[in-house]
Amino acid sequence: MDCRVKPGNDVPQCVWRNMKHDTFIRHLLLIVAPLIAAFAILPGVYDNHLLLFNFVIFLILAQGVNIIYGFTGYLPFGYVGFFGAGAYGFAIMVMHFQTPAPLAVLVAGVVGVLLGLLLTPLLRLSGAYFAIANLAAALAVLHFVANPALESITKGPYGVALNGTFNPTLAYVGAVIILALTLGIVVFLRNSSFGMALQAVREDAVSAAMAGVNVVKMRVIAWLASALVAGLAGGVFAWYVSVFYPDNVFSSDFSIFAIVFALFGGVATIMGPIVGVVILYGIYNLIGFTTPQYFQLIYGVLIMALVLFLPAGLVSLATRRGWNVP
Partner 1 sequence: MSPDAKPILTVNGLVKRFGGFHALDGLSFHVSSGEILGLVGPNGSGKTTAINVISGLYAPDGGTLTYDGASIGGMASHKLVHRGINRTFQIPKPFLSLTVRQNVEVALAYGRAEVAPPALSDLLEQYHLAELADRPAADLNSSQQKMLDLVRALATRPRLLLLDELAAGLNPTELDWIAGHIKALAQSGLAIIVVEHLMGFIEQITDRVIVMNAGKEIFEGTLAVAVKVPQVIEVFLGGEHGA
Tell me, what amino acid is at 265? G
* Sign, Cα dihedral of 249, 254, 256, 258: negative
**8 in contact with partner 1 (CB under 8 A):** yes
Nearer Cβ to partner 1, position 147 or 319? 319
Using CA atoms, how far residue 222 sits from 77, 98, 217, in Å, is: 16, 32, 9
CA 276 from centre of chain:
13
Site string for partner 1, 104-123 (x = CB under 8 A): --------------------
- Work out which of 23, 199, 252, 285 binds partner 1, going by CB under 8 A: 199
Q: Which H helix or E strand runs over 215?
A: helix 215-241
Instruction: Please tell me whether residue 204 adopts helix, strand or coil conformation.
Output: coil
Nearer Cβ to partner 1, position 2 or 47? 2
Question: Please, what is the minimum distance in Å from the beta carbon of residue 203 to partner 1?
Answer: 4
Question: Please, what is the minimum distance in Å from the beta carbon of residue 18 to partner 1?
Answer: 9
Terminal CA-to-CA distance of the chain, rounded, Å? 29
- Work out which of 17, 124, 143, 320 binds partner 1, going by CB under 8 A: 17
**162 in contact with partner 1 (CB under 8 A):** no
Question: Please, what is the minimum distance in Å from the beta carbon of residue 183 to partner 1?
Answer: 22
**212 in contact with partner 1 (CB under 8 A):** yes
Cβ-contact 259, 108 below 8 angstroms: no
CA 211 from centre of chain:
28
Tell me, what amino acid is at 231? G
Nearer Cβ to partner 1, position 71 or 82? 71
Nearer Cβ to partner 1, position 99 or 199? 199
